[in-house]
């Protein structure tokens, strides 16, 4: 009987630890999103691809795709990369734009660069 009780307590302890981890992850996501000033750009504000090298206009057949990393809207060609972004809570591959894909390693391996207003 004592063994079962011990196992139950261990399970509860483990569940609590996981909960704390989830809370910490969430706090980290919020912190990063504030740091990088991320926002999900609304579809209706964008009528062409946000990649300045592309600028393809959106049409019935060329649909908008949001990058999960920067929140900007791109055409299909410019968001054909996918990667997990654990820092934002995406542990599985999600759609990211080509510019972000190239930067992902740098962005999250190093200390975030403090954003300063050019005043």
CB of 30 to Zn ion, least distance (A): 19
Considering the rule CB under 5 A, would residue 67 count as an interface residue with Zn ion? yes
Does residue 70 interact with Zn ion by CB under 5 A? yes
- Considering only 64, 66, 73, 75, the residue that binds Zn ion (CB under 5 A) is 75
73 binds Zn ion (CB under 5 A): no
Q: How far apart are CA 89 and CA 4, in angstroms?
A: 35
What is the rounded radius of gyration, in angstroms, for the C-alpha atoms of the chain? 20
* Residue 49 engages Zn ion in binding (rule: CB under 5 A): yes
Q: Identify which range of 6-14, 28-36, 93-101, 104-112 contacts Zn ion by CB under 5 A.
A: 93-101
- Tell me the DSSP string of 37-85: T-----GGG--B-S-TTT-PBP-SSS--EE-TTT--EE-GGGG-EEEEE
Q: Does 85 bind Zn ion (CB under 5 A)?
A: no
How far apart are CB 114 and Zn ion at their closest, in Å?
A: 20
Distant-in-sequence, close-in-space partners of 99: CB < 8 Å, separation ≥ 6: 51, 70
Query: Which residues, 6 or more positions from 67, have their beta carbon under 8 angstroms from its beta carbon?
Result: 73, 74, 79, 95, 96, 97, 100
Taking CB under 5 A as the criterion, the residue among 73, 78, 85, 87 binding Zn ion is 78
Binding residues vs Zn ion (CB under 5 A): 49, 51, 54, 56, 67, 69-70, 75, 78, 97, 100
């Amino acid at each position: 009987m004592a063994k079962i009780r011990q196992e139950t307590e261990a399970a509860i302890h483990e569940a609590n630890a996981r909960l704390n981890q989830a809370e910490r992850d969430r706090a980290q996501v919020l912190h990063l999103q504030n740091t990088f000033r991320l926002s999900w750009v609304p579809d209706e504000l964008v009528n062409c691809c946000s990649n300045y090298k592309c600028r393809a206009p959106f049409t019935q057949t060329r649909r908008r795709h949001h990058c999960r990393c920067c929140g900007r809207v791109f055409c299909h060609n410019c968001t054909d990369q996918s990667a997990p972004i654990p820092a934002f809570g995406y542990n599985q591959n999600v759609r990211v734009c080509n510019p972000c894909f190239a930067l992902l390693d740098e962005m999250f391996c190093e200390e975030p660069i403090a954003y300063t207003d050019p005043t």
